[in-house]
Structure 1
Amino acid sequence: MIFWKYHGLGNDFILFEDLEMQAPTDPEVVRRLCDRRTGIGGDGILYIRPDEEGDAFMKIMNSDGSEAEMCGNGIRCVAKHLYDFAIAPVERMRINTMGGMKEVTVTISEGEVTEASVDMGAPMLDCKDVPMDCEGRFVDRAIEVNGMRIRGTAVSMGNPHFVIFQELSDREVQELGPAVHAHPIFPKRTNVEFVRPRGERLDVIVYERGAGWTQACGTGACATAVAAGLQGIVPLGRNVTVRLPGGDLTINVKKDLAMVRMTGPAVRVFQGEMEL
């Protein structure tokens, strides 16, 4: 079976053209393939499948074998593959996901996609939509974790995020990432963003649901910009640079919160063939 390796800012994926829906999705096999010592290695697996409404459907499996609703870095990689391999040779495409239909515009250089801009849709802020066991919006409110009161803002970008601007030591961040991720207030667990504002730039590290600490998280960058706008840390309606360990994403959140746009690179690393 042929596969490709892609990454977006170091958030790396195995990709299958799963047009016949025969690629491996068994959690045990997914974990084995994503293992960095004994497998191909990756933060997850992307499956390109047919879709009746869009140019393709993107299925995402995390490296722990769980399924994700949406992946911002992953969808840019899928868009690159769709264009570069003439599956959808258009500069504006529609890619369906469990988190909804996403419109993607690609930037072409020498016949290949170098960058993609994704309309990520409107953020969901009501607790029931995150989901989170609370009422109304959870903006700059506290939860109890490891005996500490941790303030954050809950945002769904098709998947759940808890964005923390609180000043914390590196040790506290390393301990709180997995603890917040598994907090019982999040019935489906959550991604966790730790943010340090630097003027209109936001420096972020992310503990991803299903993958742990990663080099970058596209939906996490979007959720961070939304939370920062809601808390008055950065202005809404303007481009904001979100700096992740793997590099920068440009995020624009409309003033009325009707849409979030994410722009960043997508890179194909290699192609291979494997036997299962």
Structure 2
Amino acid sequence: MQSGGVRFLKGHGTQNDFVLIPDLDDALSPTAAQVIAICDRRAGIGGDGLIRIAPEPGGGYFMDYRNADGSLAEMCGNGARLFARYLVDAGLQQPGSFEFGTRGGVRTAQLEPAGDVSIGMGPANVGAESKAELGGQVYSGTAVDVGNPHLVCLLDASASSTLAALDLSAAPHFDADVFPHGVNIEFVVPLGADRVRMRVFERGVGETRSCGTGTVAVAAAFRHSLRIGSAIGRPVGDVGPVTVDVPGGTVCVSFEDGQDGGATLTGPAVIVAQGVIEQDFWDRHR
């Protein structure tokens, strides 16, 4: 913490935006109330979440991610790209490939001083079938674990207007027995054999312009559906990278050796501002 307040940066990945707090002395422990106040878009800085940049005990850095409601989260793909971008821009890591810690496990970043950032997201495990309910309509979905839980609801390829009309101002209902800790829910329309469009309701946040782990979950579920011939009306062989269109832009998800384990997420990461959170504001919201 610097004299007079707490330094922060603001950035986004495909308009999924975050407040970053460098804490290289590991001196800060934001409370849920502080995170909520900082992420408030009218009375705070505003963001879908807060990322504290902390040191790892054995060297390197840890991505301490909190949702906008103050809850802890295992991993955030868009936030991870921004985290990696900051480390390189600040001279804390050299451009190229390096690892960092998250609650979802160790992740690997690949980036140069300019251009997109790639994050090794680890396994994307396709699980059981489940359902989401929204506006009185029930949507079939597939559970996918990307270090955090997702439910991917794949709509018909002709349902673009349905996707656009979904009211995600309130959380969809889901099976709490399947997802006891809550779930991120994606609604997806295929645009071909290697491209999809999605919207997402993130647990602890609401609808966001993008969700990095969500795009990986969607790509994994989509590839699974292609293999059984249910997404575009015909079975296909193994598919390559999947382009995912989100309201905030476009990312690409690829998989090592043609498998759903070992996903890599590639997309932009932009730091737009920096400043200081006033000490009074920080202290008042403990």
Which TM-score bucket, shorter chain as reference? Answer: 0.7 to 0.9
CA contact (8 A) 1:16 1:23 kept: no
Q: Does 1:206 align with 2:211?
A: no
Q: CA deviation at 1:124?
A: 2.7
For residue 258 of structure 1, the aligned residue among 245, 257, 261 is 261
Matched residues in 2 for 1:270 and 1:175: separation? 29
Is there any run of 5+ residues in structure 2 with no aligned partner, and where?
Answer: 1-5
CA contact (8 A) 2:169 2:206 kept: no
**Corresponding position: 1:56 with 2:61:** yes
Indicate if the aligned counterparts of 1:44 and 1:61 stay in contact, CA closer than 8 A.
yes
* Equivalent AA in structure 1 for residue 67 of structure 2: N
Gaps of 5+ in 1: 126-136
Q: What is the aligned partner in structure 2 of residue 239 from structure 1? A: 241
RMSD: 2.2
Q: Distance in 2 between matches of 1:176 and 1:272?
A: 31
Alpha-carbon offset, residue 122 of structure 1 = 1.2
1:156 pairs with one of 137, 145, 148: 145
Is residue 84 of structure 2 the alignment partner of residue 79 of structure 1? yes
Q: Contact conserved, 2:163 with 2:188, CA < 8 A, in 1?
A: no
Which residue type is aligned with residue 248 of structure 2? Answer: G
Would the alpha carbon gap of residues 119 and 174 (structure 1) be closer, same or farther in structure 2, given more than 3 Å must change?
Answer: same
Distance 1:51 1:175, change over 3 A: closer
Query: 1:44 maps to what in 2?
Result: 49
Equivalent pair of 1:241/1:251 in contact (CA under 8 Å): yes
Give, in angstroms, the shift of residue 211 of structure 1: 0.9
Question: Rg larger in 1 or in 2?
Answer: 2
Indicate how the Cα distance of structure 1 residues 263 and 79 shifts in structure 2: closer, same or farther if over 3 A, else same.
Answer: same
1:121 aligns with 2:122: yes
Mapping of residues 75-224 of structure 1, within 5 Å: 75-109=80-114, 114-125=115-126, 137-138=127-128, 141-143=129-131, 145=133, 148-167=137-156, 169=162, 173-174=166-167, 178-180=171-173, 183-199=176-192, 200-224=194-218
What is residue 9 of structure 1 aligned with on the other side? Answer: 14
TM-score by length of 2: 0.84
> What CA distance in whole angstroms lies between the structure 1 residues aligned with 2:58 and 2:123?
20
Percent of matched pairs sharing the same residue: 37
- Corresponding residue number in structure 2 for 1:134: none
**2:116·2:269 contact (CA, 8 Å) conserved in 1?**
yes
Q: How far apart, in 1, do the equivalents of 2:99 and 2:145 lie? A: 20
TM-score (norm. length: structure 1): 0.86
Which residue identity lines up with residue 256 of structure 1 in the other structure? Answer: Q
**Size of the alignment, in residue pairs?**
259
SS at match of 2:123: coil
